[in-house]
Amino acid sequence: MDHGAPGSYLTLTPGTDVVSSDGETVGKVEHVLADEGTEIFDGLVIDVRTGPGGLRFVDAPEVDAIFERAVVLSVPAAEIDQLPEPTASPAVLENHGEEDSESALQGKLRRAWDLISGRY
């Protein structure tokens, strides 16, 4: 499958195909999450199904390659539904004794939620 020339998160547009590590088209790019102050790519919000309830967050390390017409993940198709959903108040995924501290992933999930809900 020809995904086009290599690209970057800066060139991604909503609707770009998202392809699993095993070559299956699993969704479309909905939003790109980046820290504009530091110009660091944080991940993607992807839509994995038609209709509501299909948004998932892909953390930057799970993005294997970005091309003109597709994003290739390091995640197989069978595991796409296990990716976290963006949420306003992400659940504690790890706790190391600080109840009110937010992990890096929780911060990204919250920022992704803000982005998709128009508050970012």
pLDDT value of position 110: 72
pTM of the model: 0.76
**59 phi and psi angles, rounded to 5 deg:** -70, 150
Query: Is 98 a residue whose pLDDT tops 60?
Result: no
Cβ atoms 42, 60 nearer than 8 A: yes
Give the model confidence (pLDDT) of 1-43 as tens digits: 799 999 999 999 999 999 999 999 999 999 998 887 888 898 9
- Residue 94 tokens, joined: 């790890």
Q: How confident is the model over 37-74, as pLDDT tens digits?
A: 888 898 999 999 865 568 999 999 999 999 999 999 99
